[in-house]
Amino acid sequence: MAEAIAGLAVATSIITVIDTTCKVVAIGWRCYREIKTAPKELVDVMSELMSLQGILNTLHSHLSTSHDHNLKGFLALEVLNQPGGVLTACEIVLQDVLRVIEGLQKKKISSVIAAATGGQKLLETKSRIERLKSLLMLALSSDHITLSHAIEEHLHLAFGELKHGQGKIHCELLNIDNHITKLSRVSDEIASSQKEKHKSDQYYEIRRWLSTVDFEANHSNACKLQQPGTGLWLIKGKDFSEWARKDHSTFWLHAIPGAGKTILCSTVIQELQSRSQPVANSPEEPEISTIVYFYFDFRDSKQQHTEGMLCSLLGQLANKLSGVPEEICALWKIYKDKTSRPSPEELLAILILVIQKYFDKVYVALDALDECSERQVLLPILHQLMDSKCASIFLTSRSEHDIQKSLSEVSIYSAAIESTDVALDVELFVNRQIKAIESLRDLNVDLQNEIVQELVGGAKGMQV
């Protein structure tokens, strides 16, 4: 009775292996037909599996027709069905073949690499199938002793292969880990590059949105009109020196038209630039001091409005940082898709926030307030900027009544350009022109001095 039950278990296991073999062979041949780059080793393995299937069918037939189950033959077959025995090994090798086939099917695009890798694995599998076939043939011969020794040798080889396989897997895992590390690094570099590009593109988009005014053009033109030593009387003066040292104060320089206010403003800007410290590395590291400026100009409509002035100042401050401050970004996101622009009050609020958060000391120089077309907007904005005590402000203008009245309401340094103040500047300019014009350069020194004195006296405090 026990032998019959054990025989039935062996038969069931053999049938299971036969069914699995049939399925794997069918899948394997279909894969070979459909995938042009399937490795030739697949054909060899399919042939070996068909041969294995034939031996298993013979074994099953032997069990079905042998009703007496002679002890010697039964023992040989029972050994095959032991846990970890030959039939179990057949199932394992079939699953390995199936995994290789599935791998080939999934990697049709990268088929060259997949075929090479799969071919190597199939070659190793073929050797295992050949050994299993030998063991099954011994079972058919009912040679129990030889079969036992063969199974022992098979297990020894299988264990050796397992250790070798583990070593290979370990090496492959190390290689995979290295590749993953490299890919991760490359991915991070690409992501960082894309992020920097996005930040750079966004930076220029925000700068264009803020202001299209070439704030440096007027400054450059004014600097060209300077002579060595121009404005020294102002720079070295007590009031200016005190204002420059003091925090959050205002200096107003006023005079008649043509007195050289713009040239003097450019001189002041250059002087303050020379006192500025290196640009901050990031928005979180404030500069010790910096200067931003704006020239109002009645000849250019873009340079006549309060909004344009504030946008230009914000743009200059953004240039001095490694990235656009988040406050400016937030404002840009609100208005970038709108036809309207931020109000002067909104722009001023952002300007004050940026100065207070990212800079230690800021000078703001504004030239020719009288050339602003909306002084009723500009002057209250200037008052708010002064009240915030976030910047030291330098202003130039004509002595217009509304400007004078507005600035008289706050405590500021004030200086009017007198004819005696600019006499030296005019003399420097005339002397340079005499040396530049050949017909004048050849005159005797006394005549040159007479020309200088006549022109300086006739200028009456006007430079341009």
Chain centroid to CA 213: how far?
29
Judged by DSSP in three states, 278 sits in: coil
Taking the complete model, does pTM exceed 0.75, yes or no?
Answer: no
Task: For domain 212-417, give the CATH number.
Answer: 3.40.50.300
Per-residue pLDDT, 252? 97
Per-residue pLDDT, 420? 62
Query: What number is the average pLDDT over the span 307-331?
Result: 91
Per-residue pLDDT, 145? 45
Query: What number is the average pLDDT over the span 284-291?
Result: 66
Q: Higher confidence at residue 15 or residue 435?
A: 15
pLDDT at 222 over 60: yes
Query: What number is the average pLDDT over the span 176-189?
Result: 58
pLDDT bin (cut points 50, 70, 90) of residue 219 is very high
Query: What number is the average pLDDT over the span 64-75?
Result: 54
Between the alpha carbon of residue 83 and those of residues 10, 80, 124, 168, the distances in Å are: 12, 9, 23, 26
pLDDT at 31 over 50: yes
Is the C-alpha dihedral spanning 218, 221, 224, 225 positive or negative?
Answer: negative
pLDDT bin (cut points 50, 70, 90) of residue 281 is very low
- Lowest-pLDDT range of 13-17, 124-128, 328-332, 452-456: 452-456
Q: Higher confidence at residue 263 or residue 170?
A: 263
Between the alpha carbon of residue 443 and those of residues 339, 393, 438, 450, 457, the distances in Å are: 63, 46, 9, 11, 20
Query: What number is the average pLDDT over the span 429-443?
Result: 62
Per-residue pLDDT, 276? 77
- Lowest-pLDDT range of 328-337, 346-355, 381-390, 428-437: 428-437
17 in Cβ contact with 85 (< 8 Å): no
pLDDT at 461 over 50: no
| Structure confidence by residue, pLDDT tens digits, 111-139 | 555 666 777 888 888 888 888 888 788 77
